[in-house]
Amino acid sequence: MNRQELLNLYDLNLEELISYAEKITRKNFKTKEIEVCSIISAKTGKCHENCKYCSQSTHNNASVDCHPLLEIEKVKQSALRAKENGATRFCIVTSGRSVSDYDFKKIISMIKAVSSIDGLHCCASLGLLNEEQIKQIKNAGVERFNHNINTSENYYNKICTTHNFKDRINTLNLLAKYGIEACTGVILGMGETKEDRIDMALSLAKLNPKTVPINILNPIKGTKLENYEDKITEEEFIRTICIFRIAMPKAILRYAGGRKTRLSKETQKLGLRAGINGMLSGDYLTTEGVELSEDRELIENYIKS
């Protein structure tokens, strides 16, 4: 569909829009299975990029517990606990534009340790990578790489200026070249327009991502967006999920950050109808997330419905 067609759908009666998206989900996913993943912040804070939403940026004044790269065994034990709690994927995340050569060697060993766990798939989110680094993480066991576009190309410089939208697209294209699945999504509620949300959907569709994390901004004190709680309604969030499902019928749309504090339980249930079929459970990078046990209950009730 083109931009105008998606804009027209965005403004449909809400129940009609949800039903439309739900039919597309059922056509492309024969069961109501929800893919669950967990993450660990393997390195936190002291990032020199100026993303306005991020508590880890040195350009903001948020209070965050910074730490260097964790020990390999600590990450492996966290991955094992995630598996015990029902996760099938575990993502190693580091702060910063990119990783140093010293850290990268250790991260390769970390990836091998996690990918050796039977029944658990290893993912990573390590910022901007070059071609040689992508080859190495692929060989070490990374199947999927998270690298969000965050917002629309048009709105990007309102959120970050130390790198640009094309930097992110270039990394995602390199990942595809070496057969690593793309996990790329957005943060909604940062002041973008309805049109920006449509453009996000179209940009993502071109990348053919395996999974699309959909965050809703959790305004953190000390960041430039700390007062942005009213920049998107729960209904607008649901409408955007529907549009993402229509634009990307075969992608796993994943609940990610912000939903614990920004979305009611009823809205979260509605999102499953609108097209969500993946969840990031447990804590996020610097904020508290939804317990895996809570998500299991949500999933079980949805499957029974």
Q: Catalytic amino acids?
A: 47, 51, 54, 91, 123, 183, 254
Ordered DSSP codes for the chain: --HHHHHHHHTS-HHHHHHHHHHHHHHH-SS---EEEEEEEEEBS-B-S--TT-TTBTTS------B-PPPHHHHHHHHHHHHHTT-SEEEEEE-SSS--HHHHHHHHHHHHHHHTSTT-EEEEE-SS--HHHHHHHHHHT--EEE---BS-TTTGGGT--SS-HHHHHHHHHHHHHTTPEEE--EEE-SS--HHHHHHHHHHHHHH--SEEEEEE--PPTTSTTTT-TTSS-HHHHHHHHHHHHHH-TTSEEEE-TTHHHHS-HHHHHHHHHHTEEEEE-B--SSS--B-HHHHHHHHHHHHH-
